[in-house]
């Protein structure tokens, strides 16, 4: 167990391609950090630099009190769980779990105790003598986690461990990972492209885009105060509606509609406005904005109506029983609006509110 300190870390591949730049991240002991972002955002590269599988081009990574830039992966006191499990196919489950410990010359009795404990914890005791190929995907992933647990490492690194599982199993394994991490109290870094996985697992979320940190914060902070249009569009399902609008004094013009802001306007001129689908509500005719419905997605508990406000696409979330007509009128509480700079996409704080409960890091860029 240890804190991990990542400072000014960057990765430049041969040929000058910059995959990751200037990452600063302080991970506290026992914290569950999720790195989330679209594919190619550098999240896996960052994780692999912490693991020691990629050389660190610039900056330093500290695990505990030790700078590990030049330390072999095996000596960094970390354990990693891979997307495709990476179990040794020719070894039984027990041998898979034992392998790392044997290489460390752990005494036999200690190995047995740890393997049995991990197997019991993960409920794989009855499979210990099977080969990985005789196991289902979920069971293999448990074995992969077992291999990490028996090591009793300072940190767990997860590289999209649930991406190969079916949707239902993913949800239950997600719960298990969270429970296990709580119980063991081991510092964890978890990489995923699935924002839902990120939201449910993380103590703190790190949203990455183009090799840089867009925002760091607790899941709810990130959800309620996205630092940029990128984060706004990435976190939350359905994605936040981002529409072009213009601030005219205390009024907001979205297409032909004017919304009164009650003093929330942060600036003036062209902005990008973020509206959460679930914050939009239907009002009676001729109040608010006209919304032309194009199609409806049924989710059972919710109905998502996709349509247009002016000429911009907007999605609204309605309750399962709500009536949907071809044209509806929608409105939003001004305090629920998110404003972003039209050029840079950075968040603009609305004047009347002081929402920043968590430190929003200096936007990098």
Partner 1 sequence: MYRTRFSDHLVLIVGALFLCTPVVVAFMTSTHTAADIHMNGLSLTWGGNFIDTYEKVLTQKGGFTGEITGTSMVINSLILGVGFAVGKIVLSMLAAYAIVYFRFPMATLSFWVIFTTLLLPLEVRIMPSYQVMSELGLLNSYTGLIVPLLASATGTFYFRQFFKSVPEELLEAARIDGAGPFKFFIDILVPISRTMIAAIFIIMFVYGWNQYLWPMLMTTDERFFTLMRGIKSILQVWIGSQIPDYNEAFALAVLAMLPPVAIVVIFQSWFIKGLTESDK
Cβ closer to partner 1: 1 or 86?
86
Does position 100 bind partner 1 by CB under 8 A?
A: yes
Rounded to the nearest whole angstrom, what is the least distance from the CB of residue 357 to partner 1 in the complex? 38
Identify which range of 24-32, 95-103, 112-120, 175-183 contacts partner 1 by CB under 8 A.
95-103
Given 10, 37, 59, 132, the residue binding partner 1 (CB under 8 A) = 132
What residues between 60 and 79 interact with partner 1 by CB under 8 A? Answer: 72-75, 78-79
Rounded to the nearest whole angstrom, what is the least distance from the CB of residue 204 to partner 1 in the complex? 24
Helix or strand (DSSP H, E) at 167: helix 167-184
Given 8, 28, 55, 88, the residue binding partner 1 (CB under 8 A) = 88
Residue 170's contacts (CB-CB under 8 Å, 6 or more residues apart) are 162, 197
CB of 97 closer than 8 Å to CB of 150: yes
Does position 80 bind partner 1 by CB under 8 A?
A: yes
Q: Which DSSP letter does residue 349 get?
A: -
Does position 51 bind partner 1 by CB under 8 A?
A: yes
What residues between 146 and 185 interact with partner 1 by CB under 8 A? Answer: 147
Does position 136 bind partner 1 by CB under 8 A?
A: no
Does position 138 bind partner 1 by CB under 8 A?
A: no
What the block records as the tokens of 273 is 């406005």
CB of 20 closer than 8 Å to CB of 176: no
Rounded to the nearest whole angstrom, what is the least distance from the CB of residue 131 to partner 1 in the complex? 8
Closest CA to 200 of 171, 227, 228, 225: 171
Rounded to the nearest whole angstrom, what is the least distance from the CB of residue 110 to partner 1 in the complex? 15
Cβ neighbours around 328 below 10 Å, total: 23
CB of 133 closer than 8 Å to CB of 111: no
CB of 190 closer than 8 Å to CB of 158: yes
Rounded to the nearest whole angstrom, what is the least distance from the CB of residue 96 to partner 1 in the complex? 9
Given 38, 69, 82, 346, the residue binding partner 1 (CB under 8 A) = 82
Cβ neighbours around 5 below 10 Å, total: 17
- Any idea which residue has 């059972």 for tokens? 300
Identify which range of 5-13, 121-129, 130-138, 322-330 contacts partner 1 by CB under 8 A.
130-138
Q: Is 244 helix (H, G, I), strand (E, B) or coil?
A: strand
Alpha-carbon gap, residue 100 to 36, rounded angstroms: 29
Cβ closer to partner 1: 177 or 231?
177
The strand pair at 155-159 and 187-192 is best described as: parallel
Does position 93 bind partner 1 by CB under 8 A?
A: no
Cβ closer to partner 1: 91 or 293?
91
C-alpha distances in Å from residue 341, one per residue of 28, 140, 228, 263, 268: 32, 46, 9, 18, 10
Does position 84 bind partner 1 by CB under 8 A?
A: yes
Cβ closer to partner 1: 51 or 261?
51
Cβ closer to partner 1: 25 or 51?
51
Given 15, 17, 65, 103, the residue binding partner 1 (CB under 8 A) = 103
Identify which range of 87-95, 107-115, 238-246, 339-347 contacts partner 1 by CB under 8 A.
87-95
Q: Phi, psi at residue 84, to the nearest 5°?
A: -95, 25
The strand pair at 32-36 and 204-209 is best described as: parallel
Rounded to the nearest whole angstrom, what is the least distance from the CB of residue 142 to partner 1 in the complex? 15
Closest CA to 267 of 253, 242, 246, 243: 246
Q: If you write DSSP's letter for every residue of 54-75 in order, what string do you get?
A: S---EEEEEETTEE-TTS-GGG
Number of residues that bind partner 1 (CB under 8 A): 27
Rounded to the nearest whole angstrom, what is the least distance from the CB of residue 74 to partner 1 in the complex? 4
- Chain residues binding partner 1 by CB under 8 A are 51-53, 72-75, 78-80, 82-84, 86-91, 99-100, 103-104, 131-133, 147
């Amino acid at each position: 167990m240890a804190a991990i300190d990542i400072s000014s870390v960057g990765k430049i591949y041969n040929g000058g391609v910059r995959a990751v730049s200037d990452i600063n991240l302080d991970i506290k002991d026992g914290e569950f950090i999720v790195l989330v972002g679209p594919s190619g955002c550098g999240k896996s590269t960052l994780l692999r630099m912490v693991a020691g599988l990629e050389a660190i081009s610039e900056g330093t990574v500290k695990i505990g009190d030790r700078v590990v830039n030049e330390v072999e992966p095996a000596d960094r006191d970390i354990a990693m769980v891979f997307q495709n499990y990476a179990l040794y196919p020719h070894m039984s489950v027990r041998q898979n779990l034992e392998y790392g410990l044997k290489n460390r010359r752990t005494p036999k009795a200690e190995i047995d105790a740890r393997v049995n404990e991990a197997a019991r914890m993960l409920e794989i005791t009855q499979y210990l003598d099977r080969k990985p190929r005789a196991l289902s995907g979920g069971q293999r992933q448990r074995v992969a986690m077992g291999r990490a647990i028996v090591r009793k490492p300072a940190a767990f690194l997860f590289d999209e461990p649930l991406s190969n599982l079916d949707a239902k199993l993913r949800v239950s394994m997600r719960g298990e990972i969270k429970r296990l991490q709580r119980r063991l109290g081991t510092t964890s870094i978890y990489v995923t492209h699935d924002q839902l996985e990120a939201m449910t697992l993380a103590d703190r979320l790190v949203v990455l885009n183009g090799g840089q940190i867009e925002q760091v914060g607790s899941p709810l902070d990130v959800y309620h105060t996205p630092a940029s249009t990128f984060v706004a569009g990435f976190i939350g399902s359905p994605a936040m509606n981002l529409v072009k609008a213009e601030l005219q004094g205390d009024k907001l013009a979205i297409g032909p509609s004017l919304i009164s802001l009650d003093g929330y306007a942060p600036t003036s001129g062209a902005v990008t406005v973020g509206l959460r689908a679930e914050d939009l509500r239907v009002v009676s005719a001729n109040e608010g904005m006209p919304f032309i419905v194009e199609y409806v997605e049924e989710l059972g508990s919710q109905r998502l109506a996709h349509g247009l406000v002016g000429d911009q696409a907007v999605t609204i979330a309605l309750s399962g029983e709500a009536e949907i007509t071809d044209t509806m009128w929608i409105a939003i509480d001004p305090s629920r609006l998110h404003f972003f700079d039209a050029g840079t996409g950075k968040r603009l704080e609305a004047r009347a509110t002081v929402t920043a409960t968590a430190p929003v890091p200096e936007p990098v860029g």
